[in-house]
């Protein structure tokens, strides 16, 4: 993906990025997260601490762009079956939401893990 294409997608609003995320993940069958050198995944809390979420991206390039210059974070892929089978129940149990495709402008579409799973399954049923 060219940097021009990358920037074009990154500059979409939150809802457009969510739709783009769904279609890309349904096609590629993987979700990208950021992990630190100890393989701990990035978790973000809102300023008031009311919401904690796992940020996810549709491709390594977007996760890398988001992490640019930050805390030695590297992209790691999660296969969609693993996400559905392991991560969705784990995130739900831990009370973590999912922040879908955070933008460089700090906007993010926050959803519950089960809701994201249903949305992805709906999109995949169209393939």
Read off φ and ψ for residue 85, nearest 5 degrees. Answer: -80, -40
> Looking at residue 70, what is its pLDDT?
66
Quote the pTM value. 0.91
Q: CA-CA distance, 2 to 92, in Å (whole number)?
A: 36
Q: CA-CA distance, 9 to 32, in Å (whole number)?
A: 16
Cβ-in-10-Å burial (0-12, 13-18, 19+) of 35 comes to: middle
Residue 42 DSSP code:
P
If residue 119 lies in a helix (H) or strand (E), which one and from where to where?
A: helix 113-124
* Average pLDDT value over all residues in the chain: 91
> Looking at residue 71, what is its pLDDT?
65
Within 10 angstroms of residue 13's Cβ, the number of other Cβ atoms is 11
Percentage of the chain with pLDDT > 90? 65
> Looking at residue 5, what is its pLDDT?
81
pLDDT mean over 97-114: 90
Q: How confident is the model at residue 69 (pLDDT cuts 50, 70, 90)?
A: low
């Amino acid at each position: 993906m060219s940097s021009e294409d990358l920037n074009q997608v990154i500059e979409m609003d939150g809802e457009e990025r969510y739709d783009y995320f769904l279609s890309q993940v349904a096609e590629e069958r993987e979700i990208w997260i950021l992990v630190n050198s100890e393989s701990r995944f990035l978790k973000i809390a809102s300023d008031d601490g009311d919401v904690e979420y796992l940020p996810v991206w549709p491709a390594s390039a977007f996760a890398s762009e988001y992490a640019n210059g930050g805390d030695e974070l590297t992209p790691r892929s999660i296969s969609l079956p693993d996400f559905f089978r392991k991560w969705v129940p784990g995130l739900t149990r831990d009370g973590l939401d999912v922040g879908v495709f955070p933008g460089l402008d700090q906007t993010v579409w926050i959803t519950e893990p089960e809701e994201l799973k249903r949305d992805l399954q709906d999109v995949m049923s169209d393939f």
